[in-house]
């Protein structure tokens, strides 16, 4: 079958080009199977996939850090102050934002 030959002939260039789509689950089942097969059979591409996968996990874990409540409160107070200052003077010029 032609589809099976296309999957078997998937090259490193295309596999690596599509690895981000593979990680994001944005491929058709057939293309996903072809890339998974290539990654299983090709150590250099499998290594690149493993690196990208781990990198995404590290980034995702770092992005879950919480902003301290004190910082949130200070930012909210500063925004409220700026809103009140610009609302009472009717000016949003440079003098209004530099008074904090």
Instruction: Find the CATH number of the domain harbouring 13.
Output: 1.10.10
Q: Tell me the three state secondary structure of residue 90.
A: coil
pLDDT of 60: 82
Six token digits for residue 21: 């789509």
How much is the pLDDT for 8? 47
Q: How many domains does the chain have?
A: 1
Report residue 97 as tokens: 């934002």
User: Rounded to 10 degrees, what is the CA torsion of 78, 79, 82, 83?
Assistant: -150
What is the structure's pLDDT at 22?
93
| Residues 38 and 17 sit within 8 Å (Cβ to Cβ) | no
Residue 14 lies in a domain: yes
Residue at 94 is within a domain: no
User: How would you write the pLDDT of the chain (100 residues) with one tens digit per residue?
Assistant: 344 444 446 899 999 899 999 999 999 999 999 999 999 999 999 999 999 999 999 888 877 667 788 988 999 999 998 888 877 555 444 444 444 3
For residue 47, give both structure tokens. Answer: 């290594």
Domain enclosing residue 20, as ranges: 1-88
What are the residues whose beta carbons fall under 8 Å from the beta carbon of 46, sequence distance 6 or more? 39, 40
Report pLDDT for 28: 94
> Looking at the domain assignment, is residue 25 inside a domain?
yes
d(CA 61, CA 83): 35
């Amino acid at each position: 079958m032609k589809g099976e030959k296309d999957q078997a002939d998937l090259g490193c260039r295309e596999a690596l080009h599509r690895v981000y789509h593979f990680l994001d689950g944005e491929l058709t089942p057939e293309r996903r199977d072809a890339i998974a097969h290539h990654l299983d059979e090709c150590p250099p591409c499998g290594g690149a996939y493993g690196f990208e996968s781990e990198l995404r996990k590290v980034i995702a874990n770092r992005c879950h850090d919480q902003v301290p409540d004190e910082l949130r409160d200070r930012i909210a107070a500063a925004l409220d102050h700026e809103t009140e200052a610009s609302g009472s003077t009717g000016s949003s010029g440079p003098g209004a934002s530099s008074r904090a």
